[in-house]
Chains A and B, each alone.
Chain A
């Protein structure tokens, strides 16, 4: 709540996403619509915490990104500043309204914030969202650190209002998830209610309207080019024969590389990267014999710079990804820039990384420690039952959430995944052409976000699929945001939750049952078997809702209430060291003690779900004091 303070001029250490949340207040944004996705998640988390305390402010966790884009777009058309936030793949979901919004434009400022994820720290791809700016004809800003993310957001609203179109605000993981000192500015007042003024022949893009609006949009981009040429967001510093053009977080690495290597160069730092300042760039190209373009992922700027050089008939050397100097994959570092500069300038690197790499190769393979389902995660129990009931022989389409981690042994229940909601629809495709049993698993938030059309499709087209909805009563992977099944809104208002089983029945699913995964493993396995048998016989979709709160929420609630539960332990006399608990269930709170030859439960990690009791064939796992 520190972000709400009015003390302008104060400096705080802020995460990029906190700086952006503060920027929302300083920009006078009236409405924010978000679907959570790492690395953008903390923007929404901070705003929802503040929302009830800010007058004339509305915040929602929308059901998905397309919905968020439409809610925020309409608010800006009505006449208040709005923000839509999503991660890279989320903009793909929202691409349809995004392209329409460019044509019809907005009356008040609108910013679409997309957080890309180079290196795929927590994403299914590292798609470079900058191409949406090109395709939609939308101006784009790219901040390089938390401080700039806040100040640039304020400028984004001014540009959006000047041009009457939304602005794409593109961050990357190392901006969202870095902390740096940020200077606070004054919080801007927001209007109360505004009047929607009708203008259907602008805001309804029937073909005759769209026909005119496309030309209008290209005209606005001409004006955007003037902004790009004159804005202080695009600036150069330093001097030297060598020229460097860079944007986003790569700017830091370029600068650190130059100072580490003590190389003189002129650096053109672009904050407004679409449309690029063509005149400024052609001047820059004229002043240098060699220009290196430093940017993460695709050669977006590089291609644009080459275009300018070609238009102006210049022969300057433009070096980048096209010649293989830089990679199109993964995030950059100062090292990557230093190594490339060293290659181009024919120098030695200041640190002998070859020697370090050599020593790293002498380290034998270490035990991997990938992220796992937590101790006490209800998904582990459900997946164990699914696997046991089908002997691992069914096909298991998975979805986006914590539960994708069931890909790892010993659960191994993730066979195919495209995007949010694809578990249900890929199950349809597989079931139609294989005749194998197909069990899709999808989380509660993902179900509401993108699962509903898949269920309707399965019901109406009679796809013989089983769908297990893993309802842990939250959006767990991104940091426990509410969703329509939780009974809480982004404004922190308590409302009637939508019941997932009722929703499925309402959509026409004939077989819907709800289970509690920690009740009885025998019953849970029987439920899965019964569901598979029903779908085999009826050739229709069936749904099993497995409902139990996320282990992290359970632990937090227990800590708050001070409730003490009796821990579980392994009876070392009864345990015969068969390791079935470890090799079949594999809870991170259990390990094998080589000295005693028995399994052990680490009480500091155990979340007291009790599922392991049923997994042990010896009955060696007991509740209570040892």
Chain B
């Protein structure tokens, strides 16, 4: 058993957080598959059952030889893919010091806000609260990019492209695109590849800038 000497610090931890129906589980699975194409050991943690009912959903992807369990501890995620602002804030404690948060700025109103029970926090305060944990935030309207690609449903592929462009994961762009092409049949293939590329370019441009 060589794992005893394993270096858990070498594990790449990604947290995906959003709302049921946004494609969080699908993206986690595809990221892990792509990492496997590139020869990496992976673990994915998911929670089912409630995922389709519009509730908060979190998935974990862990890449590296020492990844064993599915759970990422607070302060352990080098990358957070936030599908929705307050759902990102809900899991922000998981981000590593100066880890990267890729944040979709598009708001999905929870019912409690619609019913007038509580206000949705303003964009500025969401960002300020995230900054207490890390100053590395890339915020853009990923839902809007998905619509540009053809359908709001490919939001997760925009974020996939964004994650790969960040260079934080050991996943190659080719392997990522292979898993996109493998996962979507027919007319959806090109739409999702477009979404992936839009997310990729957005983050590349922001990082280059």
Interface residues of A (CB under 8 A from B): 11, 13, 15, 38-39, 41-42, 121-122, 145, 173-174, 177-181, 237-238, 249, 252-253, 255-256, 258-260, 267, 333-335, 338, 351-353, 356-357, 359-360, 362-375, 402, 405, 409-410, 477-479, 552, 579, 582-583, 586, 588, 590-592, 604-605
Contact = CB atoms under 8 A, between A and B. Distances in A.
Contacts of B32: 13, 179
B53 A238 contact: no
A13 B52 CA distance: 22
A286 B73 CA distance: 34
- Which A-B residue pairs are the 7 nearest by beta carbons? A252-B69, A371-B55, A122-B49, A237-B1, A179-B44, A371-B53, A371-B50
30 contacts: A13-B29, A15-B46, A121-B50, A122-B48, A145-B43, A145-B68, A145-B69, A174-B71, A177-B46, A177-B70, A181-B36, A252-B69, A253-B69, A259-B6, A260-B8, A334-B69, A351-B75, A353-B75, A356-B74, A366-B121, A367-B119, A367-B120, A368-B112, A369-B86, A372-B55, A478-B49, A588-B111, A591-B113, A604-B152, A605-B21
Contacts of A370: 55-56
B110 A237 contact: no
Interface of B: 1, 3-9, 19-21, 28-29, 32-33, 36, 41-50, 52-56, 66, 68-71, 73-76, 86-87, 89-90, 92-93, 109-121, 129, 132-133, 152
B115 A583 contact: yes
Contacts of B50: 121-122, 371
With a 10 A CB-CB cut-off, give which of A145, A338, A369 has the most chain B CB atoms.
Answer: A369
A614 to B, nearest CB: 19
Contacts of B36: 11, 13, 181
Contact of B111 (A181, A252, A356, A586): A586
A145 B43 CA distance: 10
A582 B111 CA distance: 8
A372 B53 CA distance: 5
A351 B73 contact: yes
Given A334-B69, A369-B56, A363 B129 contact: yes
Contact of A38 (B3, B49, B116): B49
With a 10 A CB-CB cut-off, give which of A256, A375, A583, A605 has the most chain B CB atoms.
Answer: A256
Contact of A179 (B1, B42, B112): B42
A604 B120 CA distance: 20
Contacts of B4: 237-238, 255, 258-259, 267
A139 to B, nearest CB: 25
Contacts, number: 188
B74 A351 contact: yes
Given A356-B74, A362-B132, A365-B118, 10 more contacts: A177-B46, A177-B47, A178-B69, A237-B4, A253-B71, A255-B4, A259-B8, A334-B69, A357-B74, A370-B56
Contacts of B119: 367
B204 to A, nearest CB: 27
A366 B110 CA distance: 10
With a 10 A CB-CB cut-off, give which of B4, B44, B75, B93 has the most chain A CB atoms.
Answer: B4
Contacts of B19: 369
Contacts of B66: 256, 259
Contacts of B73: 333-335, 338, 351, 353
Contact of B54 (A39, A179, A374): A374
Contacts of B49: 38-39, 41, 121-122, 477-478
Contacts of A178: 43-46, 69-70
Contact of B52 (A173, A237, A353, A374): A374
Contacts of B121: 364, 366
A178 B29 CA distance: 10
With a 10 A CB-CB cut-off, give which of A121, A351, A588 has the most chain B CB atoms.
Answer: A588
B114 A591 contact: yes
Contact of A259 (B3, B41, B48, B120): B3
Nearest to A240: B4
Contacts of A253: 69, 71
B116 A13 contact: no
Contacts of A122: 48-50
A366 B86 contact: yes
Contact of A13 (B1, B42, B55, B109): B42
Contacts of A552: 52
A333 B114 contact: no
Contact of A405 (B20, B53, B114): B53
Nearest to A237: B1
With a 10 A CB-CB cut-off, give which of B32, B70, B87 has the most chain A CB atoms.
Answer: B70
A605 B143 CA distance: 14
A605 B75 CA distance: 34
B93 A359 contact: yes
A15 B33 CA distance: 12
Contacts of A363: 89, 92, 129
A369 B88 CA distance: 12
Contacts of A583: 115-116
Contacts of B33: 13
A241 B14 CA distance: 35
A126 to B, nearest CB: 14
A180 B43 contact: yes
A256 B42 contact: no
Nearest to A253: B69
Contacts of A15: 46
A174 B133 contact: no
A329 B153 CA distance: 38
A415 B73 CA distance: 36
A232 B112 CA distance: 52
B52 A367 contact: no
Contacts of B86: 366-367, 369
Contacts of A335: 73-74
